[in-house]
Amino acid sequence: MIPVLDIHKKEICRIDKLATGGKNDALTAKTHGEKILEHCTTAEYVPELLPQGVRQDLKTLNVLQPDGPSFKVSDESLVEWQKWRFRVSFNPREGAVIHDVHYDGRSVAYRLSVSEMTVPYADARPPFQRKQAFDFGDGGAGNCANNLSLGCDCLGVIKYFDAVIVDDDGKGKVHPNVICLHEQDEGIGWKHTNWRTGRAVVTRSRVLVVQFIITLANYEYVFAYKFDQSGGIDIETRATGIVSCVNIDPGKTSNYGNVVNPGVLAQNHQHIFAFRIDPAIDGHSNTVITEESHAVPMNPKTNPRGNYYEVRKTPVEKAAWADAEPRLNRVFKIVNENIKNPISGNSVGYKLVPPATQLLLADPASVQAQRAQFAQHHVWVTKYKDDELFAGGRFTMQSRKEVDGVADAVARGDNTRDTDVVVWSVFGLTHNPRVEDWPVMPCEIHQVHLRPTDFFTANPSIDVPPSSNKASVEVPKSCCQPAQGKL
């Protein structure tokens, strides 16, 4: 039952009864009787309520940093770590934002943020066409940020940042521990064994993680900006929490989702994210270059043996959208055309590898699609404009269409060559729920990668000291194993 309220008159207009039918029922059929919960069962996730309790065989794993962290934080916002330097801020809409990113004194980005996310649902029955969250524009990621606790959301030595937000009465309020900062080991960074000498050199990859977590009613999202020692930046999302669901009659199945517990229909939906990347590659005058790798038919002149492929580069001259195209290995290079790499002669730059994921499926004429123009292409290139921060527009709550989002920004037709550009990276997950997503879904992880391409004059992590961790321990080999050389 959904009461529909006229907020001005303070009157209930009507009460919508939700359909609970299955595959063979009509679209608008209200098939349920009075006892619609009788076939449902409980589904607990809180440890003390689990019928079998928690598993007992997981041993402790600690991350210890006996000499403290490798990072330094000043002014509660300036972070310095492994040649990186940037500032962290926090606001009610975007959550954690990264500013003025430099590596080894050179500018890389002016501002990195999570701009918007929309979650449209695909159940054709009314009123489910209305189920479409804009988590950043409607709820405010900063408003919904978790207050993080030591030992729960990260391991090791952790720096927490507080924020000040406005409470319901309009007063300032400290929102404690909304961002955490810590280092992680990410496996092997680079390795080479010289086969002539047998000498192996191996480094481990250490990354610095700026993380915040939001709860939007049922769902959780973990966002992380990850900086590595090779000059790379990953922006990561993890989707977790509880899938949104509705009641379904006993024994029925549905074209609109999956039955994940008796009586529980988890509806099919998408999550489409937009990251805003405001680059500053050695300054603000930047250009986006589309680079593709094309097959070339065998021919005597340029490809006599058929093994050649052609790398094509095309600058984005005017504000535009583009889609991922893995068949062409399409990557987007953000370069400074005024500064050439002294080794290769190419413009210094960073590349964005757009995740090739499904875009918005709703019909272009639908309200869902009209509200989320941004969700219909993978990459948008715009010219910087003050306050233009939100891919889906500033006002998304109960909107009918996207206003002043990236589509409008592109429509201005600004020049984007050798100027202050902004790149918006859109990707998503089509989430047709599994039974395994119930009652709380395991994290589904997606990342956007930014990588230096001819920005540096060599691998910037070549000076990371080789790994020889003294604290690691070997499990003894069993007695029955042949001893080395004794076979």
Is 167 an active-site residue?
no
Question: Cβ closer to its own copies: 414 or 440?
Answer: 440
Enter the tokens of residue 297.
């038919």
Question: Cβ closer to its own copies: 369 or 406?
Answer: 369
To its own copies, the closest distance from the beta carbon of 62 in angstroms equals 4
Question: Cβ closer to its own copies: 214 or 319?
Answer: 214
To its own copies, the closest distance from the beta carbon of 121 in angstroms equals 7
To its own copies, the closest distance from the beta carbon of 31 in angstroms equals 18
**Measured between alpha carbons, how far is 442 from 485 in angstroms, rounded to an integer?**
46
State the residue for tokens 């993680």: 209
Question: Cβ closer to its own copies: 225 or 455?
Answer: 455
Enter the tokens of residue 109.
């980005």
**Measured between alpha carbons, how far is 38 from 59 in angstroms, rounded to an integer?**
40
CA geometry: angle 76, 239, 188, nearest 5 deg: 70
User: 110, 121, 135, 454: which is the annotated catalytic residue?
Assistant: 135
* Type of residue at 92: P
Enter the tokens of residue 212.
């915040």
To its own copies, the closest distance from the beta carbon of 11 in angstroms equals 25
Please choose, from the candidates 404, 406, 424, the residue with its C-alpha nearest in 3D space to the C-alpha of residue 279.
424
**Measured between alpha carbons, how far is 22 from 254 in angstroms, rounded to an integer?**
5
Query: What 3-state DSSP class applies to 469?
Result: coil
CB 78 within 8 A of CB 71: no
* Residues in contact with 455: Cβ distance below 8 Å, sequence separation at least 6, in sequence order: 106, 108, 231, 281, 341, 348, 349, 350
Enter the tokens of residue 5.
């309220």
Count of residues making up the chain: 487
Question: Cβ closer to its own copies: 130 or 385?
Answer: 130
User: 219, 221, 225, 256: which is the annotated catalytic residue?
Assistant: 219
Burial 85-95 (b: 16+ CB within 10 A, else e): bbbbbbbbbbb
Question: Cβ closer to its own copies: 12 or 200?
Answer: 200
Q: What are phi and psi of 91, to 5 degrees?
A: -140, 160
Question: Cβ closer to its own copies: 122 or 274?
Answer: 122
**Measured between alpha carbons, how far is 369 from 361 in angstroms, rounded to an integer?**
8
CB 433 within 8 A of CB 257: yes
Question: Cβ closer to its own copies: 404 or 467?
Answer: 467
Enter the tokens of residue 136.
């950043």
**Measured between alpha carbons, how far is 288 from 192 in angstroms, rounded to an integer?**
34
CA geometry: angle 18, 119, 239, nearest 5 deg: 115
Please choose, from the candidates 226, 230, 382, the residue with its C-alpha nearest in 3D space to the C-alpha of residue 318.
382
To its own copies, the closest distance from the beta carbon of 345 in angstroms equals 5
Is 110 an active-site residue?
no
To its own copies, the closest distance from the beta carbon of 168 in angstroms equals 15
To its own copies, the closest distance from the beta carbon of 415 in angstroms equals 28
**Distance of alpha carbon 455 from its chain centroid, rounded?**
24
To its own copies, the closest distance from the beta carbon of 478 in angstroms equals 6
Q: Return the active site residues.
A: 135, 219
